Each structure stands twice: as structure tokens, then as C-alpha cells.
């Protein structure tokens, strides 16, 4: 007692319990007052929904727990904050069925008296990955049953539960639920993305400071009228949830300072999400990123703690990028354009040394500018929350369709179907085939465009490292990738004696030019096939007729050039109208990408595979089974060559069977955030990626990007 007042000493941990006790007693006090006003029936309606009606054995897809919540009431996030309990489901699953964990959308901060909670209002959809085992056969019905529980609050809190059930038909072909598929897809697209930048943290004087190094993100926050960043930790009892979170921007990134709870114990690794809100002229932009931070500055953490990083530094990444770019010159996807460049050097054999050097410089500029432009787009989209990597543009049917049409146009030009020098309709192919600086520059651009489906050795680690670094570092790596690809021609242009040894120009060049059309036709055919892997059969047939119309349009253009009078004008109007119609028609395929064919399982020759999912991998690893994973895409030539040359071999199939290896395939033909995140875990920005998980080993063996039968057999210990 002090001055007639009884004094209590409350330790820090007791303060937390005291707050919870006050909250609980408040609920008890108001319970009687509000009991008579409780809604009749449950406050929340729960059900299990699916993006599929009919499913196939081995298929992985999204289901979700849907909660419809009465107005004013709310349910809680995975870390409820200062009070509350998150929803859960206790499953009663049939054999051969796997259901993953909840994927949690971004919550709201909700003040409840002196407390701060993280919760959802009105409606909530919690997506989960569902995998149907291979043991199921068409005609059977899969029934999922579970007991869902949640706490719902508004002035008082009510624990509720419901029995939930979902019936799915096993069929030969999967069928989409047209009602729930778009709703689930929208929810999945807005889930927190894997942070494209490293995050570090420090603790001092009761404050947790998160540090993020990304100049582009810092600049975006600085350019907004108003910007805020909010940290939602996955673990409770760490930060003071009601406290303000202080954002500070620097040139190379930003920091976020958050008060800790009294007596909080901060773990060595801190996981959660960062929600960035920017007030722009057109409205508010919200982006969310998931991360795991380790104590230390973000710059010190670059490349550490990531699977497969292998101690990559900026210098080694630049060196590997240069080697990868150099090797791109012998990859099949670049061959057609290199033939065109070779023709340009032959044409310039009698030119001055200065003219030849300028060709090399302009070609190098075209390659480098294209790689840097691609890097800027890639960095910008990843900063905006998009989960993409190397070759991301080829995951769009619109881009694939445009490239197929473009390659066909170049092939028709080389075949002599049309010659419309200097006109807009022939800009791409003529610029790439012209002599001189402008032609060399656009040949470099074209070479870069057709190189994106390929991933050469050394490129994977370099690009994976680059996309986890600051924008300046990423641009440096892409710069060296471009320099590596352009270096043979740059060196050749500065060695006139080598140019003089090339064949002399002559009539043979016209015949050679016509021959070059056939690699272009082959490229167009391959792109058209890739387009067919991304859309349904009817859309593919329409696209093939679209290419026929394109060919007819260019033929009209070429034929009109030999006429006199009004025919050239009429021919140009008809030809250009046809080309515009073809280009415009390609945009109808935006967003129409179908599930990849291998998403339902299949065979590489005699080697059977199932679709990859993290849940399936966890299940197999838990059973102690060896697992080989092939991350691939229909537009990735390197991937296709490996599959045709290696995985179709009888020796590979026999070795996998003898050792009981489960073969999983992750198809990245269309955008798939789950696969993108998995690639990022192993410091890869694109495909191919090959992983072998041996029994009893925690980390997988990462195989080279160019495979041979011996490499695979050695990796699995079959030699």
C-alpha cells in the first residue's frame, strides 16, 4: 500500500493475459444483453466448393471452404491477432485423396476495444489443393466429408460448426464448374505472392524492423499520393497488434518498424505477409507478399537460406549469364535468325571494315536492348505481385499466336511471296533482313524474341539469382546475358579477316534466302502446336484458318506489286485489312488458356507420370518413396528435347520402375503460381528444372538443364 492506494506489480506476460481476460469478461457481460437479439439460425453458412465437377485420376485442382457471413459479423485469419480463433476443417477423407492446407487471403485489421484482430467480413473463400489418386476409376463418385469449425464475432462471439460435404464424379475427362471456377480463380489470383525481394529483420529497444531491398518497389511507394505497408505475422504474441507501423523509404528499398509485445520472443526466422497499399490517380492499388525473413540486413541475406543458391554472387551470376547467352547461339530456337544474320555478313563481305563493325555493334545493341526491356517488364510485373519467370510471355496464347503469325510472315517474305520494301505491313521481316545498322539492330531484337523459349546451361542459376536481387543487380545479369548471346557476332565484326573467308556474294544468296524460309516455317509450325496446347480444339482450328487468311493477305500484297493502275492500291487495302483482322482476332484468346495436358498425368514414352503438387510431393516423401520431378512447358524447346531424347528411353523407364521412383511432372505451359513458387524455392526463374528426391535425404539433387541418359541414371544411382 502506498499513500492509501494498493499497488500491483504486473509483469509483461501478465499484461497479455489481463487483456485477454478483460476481453473474455466483456463478452460474458454483454452476452445476456445481446442474447435476445441473436439471429435465428447460424450466423455463418459453410460449404465446400470446387472448380471441377468431373475429375480424372491423378488430377490436382482447387477446392475451397466457403463461408457466407451475416452483415457486421466477422471470422478470423490464421493468426487472429489479440483474440479469436481461425476456421478449421477436420476431414474424413476416402483412401487415395489428399487435401492441402488453407491458402489465406489478405485479412482486415479490426479494432475490438483495446485489442486488434485480423479478420474477414461478409464472405470468405479459403482455397485448398485437392489431389485425386490414381487408384480411382471413371464412373466412381468421390465424397469428401468434414467438420468445419469457426468463431464468429460481433459484440459477442459465437463458436459455430457445420458438417460439410462435396461429391465429385470421376470421369475420363475433367469438367469445370462454371459457377465456382471463376470465383476460386479470382481468389487464388489475389493470394499473397512470394516476395520477389529478400527481407531481413532486426530487433532493438522493443522494436522489430523489417528491411526490404528493392529500388523499384521503393520508387513505386514514393511515387504514390499516399502509401502504407502493413505486416501481418503468421505467429501470434510477437508484435503489438494495435500499434502503428512506421514506413521509411530509401533509394534502394524501405524499412517497416513495428513495436514488439512486452516480453515477446522473436524466432530466428520470421514469416508473414506484407500488404502494400498505394493511392494512385485511378484508385487504390493493394499488393500482398508472403515472405520468411532471417535476422540481419536484407543485403546480407541475398542468396542465403534459399534452396539451390549454391553461393551465387553478382559476379558469378553475371559470368554464368554470359556463358548461358553464348550457348543460346547453338540452341535450336535461335537457329533460323542466326542463318539470317550469317546472310547479312556474307552480303557485307566486300564492305568497309567500319561498316562491318557497325553491323556487329547494331546487332549487339538490338540483343542487349531487348534483354534489358524484357528484364524491366519482368521486374515490374513481379514487383506488382505477379508470380512469373523467364519465358512468362509465352504462357499467353495471345503472345504465342502473334509470334506464330510473325514467323509465318517472315517465312513468306523469304520465300518471295511478297516484297513490300519499307511499308509498315512488312516492317518486322524487312527490318530483320535488311543490310546495315537498322537491319542488324532488328535482327538482334528478333533473335532475342525467339530465344526466350530456350534456357541454356548456366542460365537457370543466374536468372533465378537475378530475380531475387535489387533491380540494378537483375539488370546487370540480363545485360551480360545479352552480351554473351551477341558476342560471337560482335567479335566476328571486329575481325575482318574472318569475314573475308566467308563465301562471296552472288546469285546463290537468293536460293539460300529461300532456303532460310523453311526454318521459319518450322518455327511457325512449332508455335502453332504450342498454341494448340494452350487452347481448346475448336479455338486451335480457328487459329489455323487465321494463319491461312494471313498467308492469303500477304500473297495479295505481293501480287498487287506487279500490277499497274489501281490494282496496287486495291491489293494493299485488301492485304492490310486482312492482316489487321488477323492481328485483332488474336486478342480473343486472352485469358482462355486451358489446363495443361500433363496436369492430368500421362506418359513420356514408356515412363508414366502424375501431375506435380506440393501436397503430392509431401505425401510421397512422407512414405519414404524416391521422387523425380520434371518442371517443363510446351513452349520450352530445351524441355521438349530432353523429354524426347532422355525420358522416352527404355533404360530410363526400367530404372525408375526398378527403384520404385515416382515420376511427377509440373507443367508450366500456362501460368501456375504454385509451380512458380516452387521454382523460386530452388532459385530458378524458369524451366526446365529437374529434381531428384532420394529416400532419407532432406534436400533434392538438382540436375543440369541439358540432360543425357547417363546423367539421369547416375543421379538416381542406376549406373
Q: What is the pLDDT of residue 454?
A: 64
CA distance readout (Å), 365 to 373, 413, 443, 481, 483? 12, 25, 10, 13, 9
Q: Mean pLDDT of residues grouped by 10 in the chain (719 residues)?
A: 39 42 43 52 93 92 96 95 93 92 95 88 96 91 94 89 95 92 92 87 90 78 83 94 88 86 88 90 85 69 41 76 84 64 63 78 91 83 60 76 87 81 40 59 81 65 67 86 89 75 70 82 86 84 91 88 75 85 82 55 77 87 90 83 88 92 90 80 82 86 88 86
Whether the Cβ atoms of residue 535 and residue 435 lie closer than 8 Å to each other:
no
The β-bridge partners of 470 are none
pLDDT in tens, 154-191: 888 889 999 999 999 999 999 999 999 999 999 998 99
Task: Please spell the DSSP secondary structure of 424-474, one letter per residue.
Answer: GGGHHHHHHH-SHHHHHHHHHHHHHHHHTT---TTHHHHHHHHTTS-HHHH
Q: What is the pLDDT of residue 69?
A: 96
Task: Please spell the DSSP secondary structure of 17-30, one letter per residue.
Answer: HHHHHHHHHHHHHH
Q: Report the relative pairing of strands 269-280 and 193-194 from DSSP bridges.
A: unpaired
Backbone angles phi, psi at 513, to 5 degrees: -60, -40
Cβ neighbors of 652 (< 8 A, separation 6 or more) are 607, 646, 709, 712, 713
Q: Helix or strand or coil: residue 383?
A: helix
The β-bridge partners of 81 are 117
Task: Please spell the DSSP secondary structure of 187-216, one letter per residue.
Answer: HHHTSPEEPSS-EEEEEETTEEEEEEE-HH
Whether the Cβ atoms of residue 610 and residue 58 lie closer than 8 Å to each other:
yes
Query: How many CB atoms lie under 10 A from the CB of residue 228?
Result: 16
The β-bridge partners of 211 are 200, 255
Distance CA 426, CA 382 (A): 34
CA torsion sign for 180, 181, 182, 188 is positive
Whether the Cβ atoms of residue 432 and residue 340 lie closer than 8 Å to each other:
yes
Q: What is the pLDDT of residue 19?
A: 42
pLDDT in tens, 498-532: 766 666 666 777 787 788 788 888 888 988 988 88
Q: Report the relative pairing of strands 60-69 and 199-204 from DSSP bridges.
A: unpaired
Q: Helix or strand or coil: residue 164?
A: strand
* One-letter-per-residue 3-state SS of 499-535: HHCCCCCCCHHHHHHHHHHHHHHHHHHHHHHHHHHHC
Whether the Cβ atoms of residue 171 and residue 45 lie closer than 8 Å to each other:
no
684 by Cβ neighbours in 10 Å (0-12 / 13-18 / 19+) ranks as buried
Q: What is the pLDDT of residue 384?
A: 58
Q: What angle do CA 625, 54, 530 make, to 5 degrees?
A: 75
Distance CA 1, CA 5 (A): 5
- Give first-to-last CA distance, the chain, whole Å: 82
Amino acid at each position: 500500500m502506498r499513500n492509501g492506494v494498493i499497488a500491483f506489480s504486473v509483469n509483461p506476460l501478465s499484461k497479455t493475459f489481463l487483456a485477454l481476460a478483460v476481453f473474455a469478461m466483456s463478452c460474458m457481460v454483454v452476452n445476456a444483453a445481446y442474447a435476445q437479439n441473436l439471429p435465428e439460425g447460424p450466423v455463418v453458412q459453410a460449404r465446400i466448393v470446387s472448380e471441377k465437377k468431373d475429375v480424372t485420376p491423378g488430377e490436382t485442382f482447387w477446392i475451397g471452404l466457403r463461408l457466407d457471413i451475416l452483415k457486421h459479423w466477422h471470422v478470423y485469419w490464421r493468426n487472429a491477432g489479440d483474440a479469436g480463433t481461425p476456421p478449421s476443417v477436420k476431414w474424413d477423407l476416402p483412401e487415395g485423396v489428399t487435401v492441402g492446407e488453407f491458402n489465406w487471403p489478405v485479412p482486415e485489421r479490426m479494432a475490438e476495444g483495446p485489442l486488434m484482430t485480423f479478420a474477414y467480413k461478409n464472405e470468405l473463400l479459403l482455397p485448398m489443393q485437392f489431389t485425386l489418386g490414381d487408384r480411382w476409376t471413371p464412373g466412381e463418385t468421390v465424397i469428401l466429408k468434414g467438420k468445419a469449425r469457426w468463431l464468429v464475432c460481433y459484440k459477442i462471439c459465437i463458436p459455430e460448426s457445420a458438417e460439410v460435404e462435396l461429391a465429385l464424379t470421376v470421369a475420363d475427362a475433367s469438367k469445370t464448374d462454371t459457377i465456382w471456377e471463376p470465383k476460386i480463380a479470382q481468389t487464388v489470383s489475389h493470394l499473397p505472392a512470394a516476395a520477389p525481394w529478400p527481407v531481413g529483420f532486426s530487433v532493438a529497444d522493443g522494436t522489430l524492423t523489417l528491411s526490404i531491398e528493392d529500388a523499384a518497389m521503393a520508387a513505386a511507394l514514393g511515387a504514390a499520393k499516399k502509401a502504407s505497408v502493413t505486416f501481418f505475422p503468421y505467429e501470434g504474441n510477437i508484435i503489438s497488434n494495435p500499434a502503428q507501423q512506421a514506413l521509411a523509404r530509401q533509394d534502394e528499398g524501405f524499412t517497416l518498424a513495428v513495436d514488439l509485445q512486452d516480453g515477446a520472443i522473436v524466432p530466428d526466422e520470421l514469416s508473414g505477409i506484407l500488404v502494400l497499399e498505394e493511392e494512385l490517380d485511378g484508385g487504390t492499388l493493394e499488393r500482398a507478399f508472403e515472405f520468411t525473413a532471417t535476422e540481419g540486413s536484407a543485403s546480407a541475406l541475398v542468396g542465403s537460406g534459399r534452396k539451390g543458391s549454391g553461393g551465387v554472387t553478382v559476379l558469378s551470376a553475371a559470368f554464368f549469364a554470359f556463358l548461358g547467352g553464348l550457348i543460346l547461339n547453338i540452341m535450336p530456337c535461335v537457329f533460323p535468325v542466326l542463318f539470317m544474320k550469317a546472310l547479312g555478313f556474307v552480303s557485307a563481305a566486300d564492305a568497309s571494315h567500319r561498316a562491318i563493325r557497325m553491323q556487329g555493334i547494331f546487332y549487339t545493341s538490338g540483343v542487349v536492348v531487348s534483354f534489358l526491356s524484357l528484364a524491366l517488364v519482368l521486374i515490374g510485373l513481379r514487383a506488382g505481385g505477379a508470380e512469373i519467370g523467364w519465358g512468362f510471355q509465352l504462357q499467353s496464347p495471345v503472345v504465342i499466336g502473334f509470334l506464330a503469325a510473325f514467323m509465318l510472315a517472315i517465312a513468306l517474305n523469304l520465300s518471295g511471296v511478297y516484297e513490300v520494301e519499307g511499308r509498315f505491313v512488312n516492317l518486322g521481316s524487312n527490318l530483320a533482313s535488311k543490310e546495315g545498322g537498322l537491319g542488324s539492330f532488328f535482327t538482334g531484337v528478333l533473335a532475342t524474341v525467339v530465344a526466350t523459349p530456350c534456357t541454356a546451361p548456366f542460365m537457370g542459376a543466374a536468372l533465378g539469382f537475378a530475380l531475387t536481387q535489387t533491380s540494378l543487380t537483375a539488370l546487370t545479369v540480363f545485360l551480360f546475358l545479352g552480351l554473351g548471346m551477341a558476342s560471337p557476332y560482335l567479335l566476328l565484326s571486329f575481325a575482318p579477316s574472318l569475314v573475308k573467308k566467308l563465301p562471296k556474294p552472288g546469285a546463290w544468296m537468293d536460293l539460300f534466302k529461300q532456303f532460310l524460309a523453311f526454318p521459319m516455317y518450322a518455327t511457325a509450325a512449332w508455335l502453332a502446336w504450342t498454341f494448340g496446347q494452350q487452347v481448346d480444339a475448336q479455338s486451335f482450328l480457328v487459329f489455323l484458318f487465321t494463319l491461312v487468311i494471313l498467308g492469303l493477305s500477304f500473297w495479295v500484297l505481293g501480287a498487287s506489286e506487279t500490277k499497274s493502275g489501281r490494282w496496287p492500291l486495291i491489293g494493299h487495302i485488301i492485304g492490310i485489312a486482312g492482316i489487321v483482322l488477323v492481328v485483332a482476332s488474336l486478342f480473343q484468346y486472352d485469358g482462355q488458356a486451358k489446363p495443361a495436358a500433363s496436369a492430368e498425368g500421362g506418359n513420356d514414352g514408356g515412363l508414366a507420370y502424375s501431375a506435380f503438387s506440393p501436397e503430392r510431393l509431401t505425401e510421397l516423401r512422407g512414405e519414404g518413396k524416391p521422387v523425380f520431378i520434371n518442371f517443363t512447358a510446351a513452349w520450352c524447346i530445351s524441355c521438349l528435347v530432353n523429354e524426347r531424347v532422355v525420358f522416352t528411353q527404355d533404360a530410363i523407364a526400367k530404372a525408375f520402375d526398378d527403384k520404385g521412383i515416382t515420376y511427377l511432372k509440373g507443367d508450366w505451359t500456362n501460368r501456375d503460381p504454385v509451380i512458380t513458387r516452387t521454382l523460386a524455392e530452388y532459385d530458378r526463374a524458369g524451366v526446365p528444372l529437374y529434381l531428384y528426391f532420394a529416400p532419407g535425404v532432406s534436400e533434392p539433387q538438382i540436375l543440369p538443364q541439358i540432360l543425357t541418359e547417363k546423367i539421369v541414371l547416375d543421379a538416381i544411382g542406376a549406373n
